[in-house]
């Protein structure tokens, strides 16, 4: 084949261009650190880069945001559960101490105040927030579990509470309290100190609703299922207003149903209790018009109707069996629950049990103060020289001492019974604590796995897209030598012209 000078020139220029392009590619790779600048340069690398970048981006989202958010939420939850567990343990200690009546008279007022403070501390844990969201309110993360001082006065509720016969308990109370203020009435003849005036214990059957200080002007509606499964209605025989406090449990008829709004109790006579003791369903509809700070909000616990007092606007709330899981995606196709439902952790029974203990301690303290006041009247010049007055005071002192003794017995029995009650609360809280701890451990394992995946895929992405500088530097040096040689050879070829051959 005939080879012309033009062919040699063209081939030289073409090869020089190839060397130039190769050197340019190596220069870009070394200056950018990337294997390719455009997808067309290597489609396989480009496609793999898109997949790996997407994977790394998702892992980074899980590692730096989702897992950290989930961990923070769960850490707050565990801290609150631990605090509640500690408060219940403290209450168990008070129950053990109170069951032996080791409280002295001077301490009782402080003890009642401390017991109520524990209730407030338990309930206030229900308003723990994470990033402005209430962590114990289920899906209603914008609504507190417990009323704040601002929200409490705004609303009234109609509440439907479901119970059964196991919620009915027996309450022992002391009636006919001795009151020093009645002394002058006895001496003046306006009151008679008779056989029915002395303190005595009485047993009543009661159903305690979840709230106290209920509406006095509207009696609750009580329905139950009889032994044939038919729905029956109980009528409230008498609503006891706060001015009748001394008569709350006195002279209760066998067929009577009393509604005590102040304490949030329904008390039954023996015949009514017989009707209810085997029922599987008791439904009570009642109204509560006033709430205080640290009261549990009904919409998290009951089917109810909320009324905004200022506007009259009503909202219906319905409780379902849905456990309202809030889940975070923490890895590919892997979610973890971060929340614990407040109604499972903080119950009305906790608060009601604490209030009952505090009330009983205050009752004993009040009885002892009245006894001390009566004893002081013996030295009062107004009565000390009056034989009839001294005799009446001594009668009242004897009865007051008996009242103190009976109320002390009731207090000890209540504390002793509540040892088991608070142990049951502790068991429930510990179960939730264990569940939360197990989920935290699972999250820790997932976090470690995601961290490893992030490292591995980041390395794969780097290997797919980035150059090895040492190898490329050697390749660049080799190609530069080739390029310079090509320049020299091509320059020699292109120097000759037609004149060189004439």
* 378 and 423 together in one domain: yes
Q: Is the backbone of residue 247 left (phi > 0), alpha (psi -120 to 50) or beta?
A: alpha
Beta bridge partners of 308: 155
Contacts of 416 (CB under 8 A, 6+ apart): 95, 99
317 and 253 in one domain?
yes
Is residue 93 very low, low, confident or very high in pLDDT (cuts 50, 70, 90)? confident
Classify 367 as helix, strand or coil: helix
Residue 268 lies in a domain: yes
Do 134 and 174 belong together in one domain?
no
Using DSSP bridges, classify how beta strands 238-239 and 257-260 pair: parallel, antiparallel or unpaired.
Answer: parallel
473-489 mean pLDDT: 71
Are 445 and 463 in the same domain? no
Residue 102 — very low, low, confident or very high, per pLDDT cuts 50/70/90?
Answer: low
User: 84 lies in a domain?
Assistant: yes
**Model confidence pLDDT, tens digit, residues 62-77:** 999 999 999 999 999 9
Where does the pLDDT of residue 99 fall: very low under 50, low under 70, confident under 90, or very high at 90 and above? confident
Banded model confidence at residue 456, pLDDT cuts 50, 70, 90: very high
Share of the chain above pLDDT 90, in %: 60
By C-alpha distance, which of 292, 299, 291, 336 is closest to 134?
299
Q: Is residue 66 part of a domain?
A: no
pTM, rounded to two decimals:
0.83
Per-residue pLDDT, 498: 55
Q: Could you tell me if 342 and 317 lie in one domain?
A: no
Considering the domain architecture, whether residues 129 and 211 belong to the same structural domain is answered as no
23 belongs to a structural domain: yes
Sequence-ordered list of residues with C-beta below 8 angstroms from that of 199, at least 6 positions apart, any chain: 174, 175, 176, 177, 178, 399, 400, 402, 403, 406
**64 within domain boundaries:** no
Q: What pLDDT is stored for residue 64 in this prediction?
A: 92
Of the pLDDT bands very low, low, confident and very high (cuts 50, 70, 90), residue 162 is: very high
CA distance 423 to 88: 8
CATH of the domain at 346: 1.20.1330
CA distances in angstroms from 94 to 124, 387, 423, listed in the order given: 21, 44, 12
Closest CA to 46 of 54, 33, 55, 36: 36
Asked whether residue 125 falls in the same domain as residue 178, the answer is no
Buried b (16+ CB within 10 A) or exposed e, 9-47: eeebeeebeebeeebebbebbeeeeebbeeeeeeeeebe
Mean pLDDT for 3-31 is: 70
Would you say residue 455 has pLDDT above 70? Answer: yes
Q: Please check whether residues 261 and 350 belong to one and the same domain.
A: no
Assess whether pLDDT exceeds 70 at residue 500. Answer: no
Residue 438 confidence class, pLDDT cut points 50, 70, 90? very high
Which residues, 6+ apart, have CB-to-CB distance to 265 below 8 Å? 206, 207, 208, 209, 259
| pLDDT at res. 125 | 94
345 with 312, same domain?
no
pLDDT exceeds cutoff 90 at 462:
no
Identify the domain containing residue 343 by its residue range: 73-139+330-457
Whether residues 367 and 395 share a domain: the answer is yes
Task: Judge whether 259 lies within some domain.
Answer: yes
Q: Verify that 356 and 391 share a domain, yes or no.
A: yes
Which of 323, 350, 368 is the C-terminal boundary of a domain? 323
Number of domains in the chain: 3
Q: Which of 300, 323, 346 is the last residue of a domain?
A: 323
* 8 A C-beta contact, residue 73 and residue 135: yes
> Which tens digit of pLDDT belongs to each residue from 167-203?
999 999 999 889 999 899 888 888 888 766 788 998 9
Q: Which of 292, 308, 323 delimits the end of a domain? A: 323
How far out from the chain centre does Cα 341 lie? 6
Centroid of chain to Cα 150:
20
User: Does 110 reside within a domain?
Assistant: yes
- 63 domain residue, yes or no: no
Statement to judge: residues 489 and 384 lie in one domain: no
């Amino acid at each position: 084949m005939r080879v012309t000078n033009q062919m040699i020139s063209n081939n030289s220029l073409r090869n020089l261009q190839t060397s130039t392009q190769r050197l340019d590619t190596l220069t870009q790779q070394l200056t950018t650190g990337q294997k390719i600048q455009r997808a067309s340069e290597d489609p396989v690398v480009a496609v793999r880069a898109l997949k790996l970048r997407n994977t790394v981006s998702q892992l980074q989202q899980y590692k730096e945001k989702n897992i950290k958010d989930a961990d923070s939420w769960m850490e707050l939850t565990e801290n609150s559960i631990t605090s509640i567990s500690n408060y219940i343990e403290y209450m168990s200690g008070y129950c053990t101490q109170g069951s032996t009546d080791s409280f002295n008279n001077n301490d009782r007022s402080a003890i009642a105040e401390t017991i109520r403070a524990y209730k407030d501390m338990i309930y206030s844990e229900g308003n723990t927030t994470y990033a402005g969201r209430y962590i114990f309110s289920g899906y209603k993360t914008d609504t507190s579990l417990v009323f704040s001082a601002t929200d409490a006065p705004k609303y009234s509720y109609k509440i439907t509470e479901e119970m059964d016969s196991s919620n009915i308990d027996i309450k022992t109370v002391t009636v006919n309290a001795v009151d020093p203020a009645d002394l002058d009435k006895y001496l003046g003849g306006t009151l008679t100190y008779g056989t029915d005036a002395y303190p005595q214990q009485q047993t009543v059957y009661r159903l305690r609703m979840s709230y106290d200080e209920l509406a006095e002007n509207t009696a609750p509606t009580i329905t139950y299922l009889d032994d044939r499964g038919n729905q029956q209605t109980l009528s409230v025989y008498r609503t006891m207003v706060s001015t009748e406090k001394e008569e709350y449990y006195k002279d209760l008829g066998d067929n009577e149903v009393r509604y005590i709004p102040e304490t949030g109790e329904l008390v039954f006579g023996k015949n009514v209790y017989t009707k209810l003791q085997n029922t599987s369903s008791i439904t009570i509809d009642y109204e509560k018009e006033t709430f205080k700070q640290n009261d549990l909000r009904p919409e998290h616990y009951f089917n109810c109707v909320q009324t905004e007092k200022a506007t009259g606007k009503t909202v219906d709330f319905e409780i379902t069996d849905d456990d309202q899981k809030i889940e975070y995606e923490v890895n590919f196709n892997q979610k973890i629950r971060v929340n614990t439902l407040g109604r499972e952790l903080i119950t009305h029974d906790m608060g009601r049990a604490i209030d009952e203990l505090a009330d009983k301690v205050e009752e004993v303290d009040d009885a002892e103060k009245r006894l001390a006041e009566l004893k002081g009247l013996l030295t009062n010049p107004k009565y000390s020289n009056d034989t009839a007055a001294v005799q009446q005071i001594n009668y009242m002192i004897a009865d007051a001492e008996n009242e103190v003794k009976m109320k002390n017995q009731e207090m000890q029995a209540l504390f002793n019974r509540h040892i088991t009650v608070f142990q049951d609360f502790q068991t429930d809280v510990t179960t939730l604590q264990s569940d939360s701890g197990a989920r935290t451990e699972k999250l820790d394992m997932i976090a470690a796995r995601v961290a490893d995946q992030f490292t591995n895929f980041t390395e794969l992405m780097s290997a797919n897209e980035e150059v090895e500088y040492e190898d490329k530097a050697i390749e660049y040096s080799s190609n530069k030598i080739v390029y310079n040689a090509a320049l020299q050879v091509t320059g020699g070829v292109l120097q000759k012209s037609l004149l060189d051959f004439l």
